[in-house]
Chain A
Amino acid sequence: MTETNGSIIEGRTGPWEIVLGLEVHAQVVSNAKLFSGAATEFGAEPNTQVSLVDAAMPGMLPVINDVCVEQAVKTGLGLKAQINKRSVFDRKNYFYADLPAGYQISQYLQPIVGEGTIILDLPDGRTREVGITRLHLEQDAGKSLHDQHPTKTYVDLNRCGVALMEIVSEPDMRSAEEAAAYLRKLRSILRYLGTCDGNMEQGSLRCDVNVSVRRPGEPYGTRCEIKNVNSIRFVSQAIEYEARRQVELLEEGGTVVQETRLFDSGRGVTRSMRSKEHAHDYRYFPDPDLLPLEFDDAYIERIRATMPELPDAKKARFIADYGLSAYDAGVLVAEQETAAYYEALVEGEGGKTRDPKMAANWVIGELFGALNRAGRTIQDSPVSSAELGGLLDLIADDTISGRIAKDVFADMVETGKPAGEIVEAKGLRQVTDSGAIDSMIDEVLSRNADKVAEYKAGKDKLFGFFVGQVMKATGGKANPKLLNERLREKLQ
């Protein structure tokens, strides 16, 4: 039996280290395909978004889409990577029913983007750098449906020819957690840049995982490539399973064979894809239909000028300007829309600003909770940043307590009414009149004369009891700070 402890698997014969590299296929956001004028939109009727180029009719020639090139360069800049001003398209030859040309146009020896880096934000707040080996442009294949007919496979070429960016990492990751953090960060960067929508369910972001194991400090072991892992959860499951399989194999005196394996999400296992035995013999050669792709520095700089502030920079700014923890800042910048909501909340309207830490707690706690329960995203939040700001202002000026504010917030989510209106209508305004609080304290103390005696005899814990009783008498509306002050005075 083996046990996984972060990056180390404790085997029967000693510790093993997991080594992981990821290949991600990210669908480029564009209207038309990489080499044809057919649409890329998801979910159209089969074979309606297919040009004669995509169907590989004889004599059809590919013409590259300028925006797809820009998107690849932009992504390369976002990964702080080398941009190659000259790159070459090659034919990757393989035979499959959903690839009508018999080859995929891809980039092999001279990709458009070279080495870069990505910084992982780990759940415990640590960060870790992972190398990017390369990014290249290529065509997607069509889609095969195997379950529509007892003896036939149905083929839809709508996706055939859509632009993909294949993004390859260095074998720098050491645990399923790091691989998950890599995917989350990559998706976040792609979404900030608007170069890929990052939707794993619709297949716009797909992941192959290279897994190997070794004794700590030894050279890399033989790796297996696991295909078809289409969610972050499955990536973790596939890694855990595959690493254990390799360790058990090695400990029994076997050897790992380099092969392509398929992740079976139903059973949580990986299995060998024997059909791919010849798959790595792709016989690449430069595509004679396409000249090398060339551009100059001015082209790169024009694209650089359109870059938004990326998650790492935004996170650093949130920590520096708002005094947030690394964890909170990381959560708030993961999605651009969340960061925008948070900033609007803090910066307020008409030049007034709000407490950044309180705002962060409300967004990460109450707002995320409400959105999760309602199955909504922050873009269609039932409570706008200005409305939530209105609620925070009522806490800040002592109109309501933080505890009451949570009830008001629930009401706002429910009814869509502004905070002030709910507070007035329900009479939730905090009691800040010290005379009124005094008389309620007197009443509670006189009713509990025995407990007052116990308190004075040294049973300090009873202070909380008195606070609770007065709060109850005011329907939770007494200003907590004032109540504490007055009560302490009276009990002296």
Chain B
Amino acid sequence: MSLDKATVAHIATLARIKIPDSDLEHLAGELSQILGWIEQLGEVDTTGVEPMTGVVQMDLPRRADVVTDGNIRDKVLANAPEPAHGFFTVPKVVE
């Protein structure tokens, strides 16, 4: 599978990464190479093999419905730029 420049630009938009047009060609080639490398797995015959969900045989652990966390606003906001009145703030998102 190979990616074209438009697809790379679209992925970059979704990931909110700004990429100059001059880099698209090069990145398309590089990403296509990675995909090609992974696609080699398709050569293995997996007929009748259950998809593996983990390397350890275990069930999904569950927690009891008890409040054990929270009330750590200072820690939650510690790395946030310009918190105000207990909120995170971001440039205005206009809908």
Contact = CB atoms under 8 A, between A and B. Distances in A.
Contacts, number: 140
A32 B92 contact: no
A426 interface: no
Contact of B89 (A38, A51, A68, A154): A154
A66 B65 contact: yes
B53 interface: yes
A112 interface: no
A154 B89 CA distance: 5
B48 interface: no
Contact of B60 (A32, A55, A145, A294): A294
B89 A278 contact: no
B76 A47 contact: yes
A146 B76 contact: no
A152 to B, nearest CB: 4
B77 A68 contact: no
A222 to B, nearest CB: 23
Interface string A277-300: 010010100100011111000000
A150 B94 CA distance: 11
Contacts of B49: none
Given A95-B16, A151-B91, A31 B66 contact: yes
Interface residues of B, number: 39
Contacts of A52: 69, 72, 75-76
Contact of A47 (B16, B58, B73): B73
Given A50-B76, A281-B14, A146 B92 contact: yes
A50 B62 CA distance: 19
Contact of A32 (B68, B84, B88): B68
Contacts of B92: 146, 149-153
Contact of A152 (B16, B58, B63, B91): B91
B70 A93 contact: no
A41 to B, nearest CB: 9
B89 A39 contact: no
Contacts of A145: 87
Contacts of A150: 92
Given A47-B76, A48-B73, A156-B87, A32 B63 contact: yes
Contacts of A30: 65
A146 B93 contact: yes
A152 B94 CA distance: 10
A32 B67 contact: yes
A47 B80 CA distance: 12
Contact of A37 (B13, B54, B67, B88): B67
Nearest to B54: A291
B90 A50 contact: no
Contacts of A146: 92-95
Contacts of B89: 149, 152-155
Given A50-B70, A67-B65, A291-B59, A154 B87 contact: yes
A93 B53 CA distance: 20
A64 B76 contact: no
A47 B77 contact: yes
Contacts of A154: 84-85, 87-89
B62 A69 contact: yes
B70 A275 contact: no
B42 interface: no
Contact of B65 (A31, A95, A278): A31
Q: What are the nearest 6 A-B pairs in CB distance?
A: A37-B68, A67-B65, A37-B69, A51-B69, A154-B87, A38-B70
A106 interface: no
Interface string A133-168: 000000000001110111111111100000000000
Given A146-B92, A153-B89, A278-B13, A50 B63 contact: no
Contacts of A95: 14-16
Contacts of B20: none
B71 interface: yes
Contacts of B68: 32, 37
